Amino acid sequence: MGLGDRIRRFFSKRSNPALADLESFVAERKGIEGFIEPQTSTSPSSLLLVDRDGDHRRSPVRDRHDAVAFCTAHAIPVYDAPVVGYPRRMKEFDKRRRVQAGESLDEAIADLERRLGQEPPDPS
């Protein structure tokens, strides 16, 4: 990496601090792919990173070039989300997370019902 690349990378991070949040995700995960999401009327352009298990993080970017530069700097393949769609593993990860959250809620309710059904302790 040349001096010019380092300078551009430094200023890119400073002007786009949201990408710094993705740095830790990249450092902790394996098998990451990037998906560039276009700007809509309700959200800015964003970069979605998806790891091999389907866990994902999304962060706004100024433009497509910032997202491509981030992925290139980290050797992450990058795709246009509207063209290729989202990976199935991401959808399955979200589904598993919802099921686990529902199961833990069911367990908490069952525990509360058990405790409510018990005799109150004798205060004496």
Whole-number Å distance between alpha carbons of 20 and 120: 53
State in Å, rounded, how far the first CA of the chain is from the last one: 76
Q: State if pTM tops 0.85.
A: no
Domain boundaries, the chain: 3-116
How many CA atoms within 13 Å lie on the side-chain side of 103?
A: 6
**One-letter-per-residue 3-state SS of 4-72:** HHHHHHHHHHHHCCHHHHHHHHHHHCCCCEEEEECCCCCCCCEEEEECCCCCEEEEECCCHHHHHHHHH
Residues in the chain with pLDDT < 50?
A: none
pLDDT tens, 91-122?
898 888 887 776 777 777 777 788 787 666 66
